Structure formats: structure tokens, C-alpha cells
């Protein structure tokens, strides 16, 4: 069994940036692509806040360019999903192959929680359904949008969207917000946010783009016109395979000191440990830091 210098688990923005830095350091990293090669950016049609692209950049194009850049410097890719892993021994089982490495970077990302209702998939990614107000809020300038959820994330998204949107509806299935008091008060006192209590989203409707939502209360079902809907019901980090090997919080996010995990030679980057920012640029920064740390560890 050949021993790799560095294996990077995940091929999103964090993993690919780590691969660029590691490959330029002559580590010849091996990237295990995972279930969704390219990560969440693959489904993003236009990214306006990634530095260096004044007119924005298509998510697929950005990931493709990053991958080309990694290969230019000697990185290698292995399709597949990690089925089991021993982080202390640094032995990885990936769909029939056993891989041993001197160092590992975990960059497995996270996936937004979905409602799994009619219309959600149809309008995903640039057609009216989003999970990131920071990424997509500016597309809805002077529009009417809905935010689904009742926690801190939903309140933050709703408050942020008032910078652009004519009106923001916060749709919550309960009769009170789960958010912290300061966030809840901020939303409830904002005249541009209206909360629809005890309301459930049943269907996202439209032709080419979202035009209205089909909603349900205890007494009624009705349509309401919207230009877009933001799902803010949380994320699920892709960390199940690392359970009981690294410390995680109650939702599965890896608890790290920056990019270090507490296991020598094992580093982490991106959305699998970042529950606060979840941006392409912050994931890229963490990926660069993890690769530099891995190179110093191997040295």
C-alpha cells in the first residue's frame, strides 16, 4: 500500500484551495471528491462577492477553474466517498481502496437542510430558492421575499434582506421565535419584516421562476405572491464518518482550534467546522491555512 503525503477529503472551495497550496508545495495531494464534487458552489449560478470577479462568476466555472489550477501543480483526484477512516492511524477506506496518508485535511463541507416539498428542487439555484441571503440577497432588490425558519439564522437572513428587499416575510410554523432575544427583537421591531405565525410552506410555485407560495395555517390554505424564498432551517455538516474520532458539537460541526483538530497531522477547513460564516471566501481561506499547516507538519 502506497503512503500519500496528504489526502484532502472534499472537493469544494476549502478542499480545492488546500489542494492548490499543497500541490505548489510539491506535496502531490490526493483529493477524494466526495458525494458532490465541487461542493455547494456547483449549484450556484452567479457569485457576486468572490474577490476578483467584478461582474460575478458562475459557481460551476469557479470550481472548474480551481480544479484545473490544482491539476496544473500536480494534485490528483479520486472519485468516491470515504466509507470509514481511522484518523489517528490516517488510514482511509474509500469504495474498495485502502489509502494511508501522512497528513489529512477534512474539508467535507455541509449541506443545507431542505423541506423536500414540491417546487423546491425545480427552482433551486438562481430561480428563486436560496439558502444564503449574503450570497443572493442583492438579486432581490426592491422585491418581496420570504424567509422560512424561526431561529437565529432565519432572523439574521430576514434582517439582512431588508437592505435590498421591499418587503420580507418571515414564515414560522410556531407561535414564537426560537431565536435569541436580541435577534428576535431586532426582527419584530423592523417595519419591513412581517412574521407569519403558525404557518407552513406547502409548495413553491411558478413557471420559470418563483412567483408565489402555497401556505397553510390551522384554519386556511392560501397563495401569496413572492419573488423568492430563502430556506433558513439550518445546515447538516458532512461529518458522520468522523464521529467519535474528533470532537463535534451537538449538530455535528467539528470543533477545532482554527484549523487544528487536536490529532497530529489532521486538519480541518470549510463548512464542516464553520457554522457562522459559510462563505466561499472564508472556506478558501481556511483551506489555504490548513494546507500551510499540513506542509509545516510534514516538514
Active-site choice (13, 94, 135, 205): 135
- Helix, coil or strand: residue 70: helix
**What whole-number distance in Å separates Cα of residue 256 and Cα of residue 248?**
9
CB 74 within 8 A of CB 19: no
Instruction: Give the long-range contacts of residues 198-201, CB within 8 A, separation 24 or more.
Output: 198/172, 198/173, 198/174, 199/171, 199/172, 199/173, 200/173, 201/115, 201/117, 201/146, 201/148, 201/171, 201/229
Judged on CB neighbours under 10 Å (0-12, 13-18, 19+), 232 is buried
d(CA 139, CA 112) in angstroms, rounded, equals: 20
| Burial degree of 268 (CB within 10 A; 0-12, 13-18, 19+) | buried
The active-site residue, picked from 13, 94, 136, 205, is: 136
Task: Examine the residue annotation and report whether 132 is marked as an active-site residue of this protein.
Answer: yes
Write out the three cell numbers for 91: 488510514
Inter-residue contact 53 to 46 (CB < 8 Å)? no
Name which of 227, 180, 220 is nearest 196 in CA terms: 220
155 catalytically annotated: no
Q: Looking up cell 506542509, which residue turns up?
A: 295
Active-site residue, from 13, 55, 97, 132 = 132
Opening angle at CA 200, ends 198 and 201, nearest 5:
150
Q: From CA 219, how far away is CA 196, in angstroms rounded?
A: 13
**If we measure between CA atoms, which residue out of 4, 144, 127 comes closest to residue 75?**
4
- Bridge partners of 99, per DSSP, are 92
136 in active site: yes
Which residues are designated catalytic?
Answer: 132, 135-136
Amino acid at each position: 500500500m502506497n503512503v500519500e503525503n496528504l489526502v484532502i477529503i472534499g472537493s469544494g472551495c476549502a478542499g480545492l484551495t488546500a489542494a492548490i497550496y499543497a500541490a505548489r508545495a510539491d506535496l502531490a495531494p490526493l483529493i477524494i471528491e466526495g458525494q458532490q464534487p465541487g461542493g455547494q458552489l456547483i449549484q450556484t449560478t452567479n457569485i457576486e462577492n468572490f474577490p476578483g470577479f467584478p461582474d460575478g462568476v458562475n459557481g460551476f466555472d469557479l470550481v472548474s477553474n480551481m480544479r484545473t489550477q490544482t491539476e496544473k501543480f500536480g494534485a490528483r483526484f479520486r472519485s468516491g466517498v470515504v466509507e470509514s477512516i481511522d484518523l489517528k492511524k490516517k488510514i482511509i477506506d474509500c469504495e474498495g481502496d485502502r489509502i494511508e496518508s501522512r497528513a489529512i485535511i477534512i474539508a467535507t463541507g455541509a449541506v443545507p437542510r431542505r423541506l423536500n416539498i414540491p417546487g423546491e428542487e425545480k427552482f433551486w439555484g438562481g430561480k428563486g430558492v436560496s439558502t444564503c441571503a449574503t450570497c443572493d440577497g442583492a438579486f432581490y432588490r426592491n422585491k418581496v421575499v420570504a424567509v422560512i425558519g424561526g431561529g437565529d439564522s432565519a432572523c439574521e437572513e430576514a434582517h439582512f434582506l431588508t437592505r435590498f428587499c421591499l418587503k420580507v416575510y418571515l414564515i414560522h410554523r410556531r407561535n414564537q421565535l426560537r431565536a435569541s432575544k436580541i435577534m428576535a427583537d431586532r426582527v419584530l421591531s423592523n417595519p419591513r419584516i412581517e412574521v407569519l405565525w403558525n404557518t407552513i410552506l406547502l409548495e413553491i410555485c411558478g413557471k420559470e421562476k418563483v412567483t408565489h407560495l402555497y401556505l397553510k395555517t390551522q384554519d386556511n390554505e392560501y397563495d401569496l405572491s413572492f419573488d423568492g424564498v430563502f430556506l433558513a432551517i439550518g445546515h447538516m455538516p458532512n461529518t458522520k464518518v468522523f464521529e467519535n474520532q474528533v470532537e463535534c458539537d451537538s449538530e455535528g460541526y467539528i470543533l477545532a482550534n482554527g484549523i487544528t483538530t487536536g490529532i497530529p497531522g489532521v486538519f480541518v477547513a470549510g463548512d464542516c467546522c464553520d457554522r457562522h460564516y459559510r462563505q466561499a471566501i472564508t472556506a478558501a481561506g481556511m483551506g489555504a491555512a490548513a494546507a500551510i499547516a499540513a506542509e509545516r507538519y510534514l516538514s
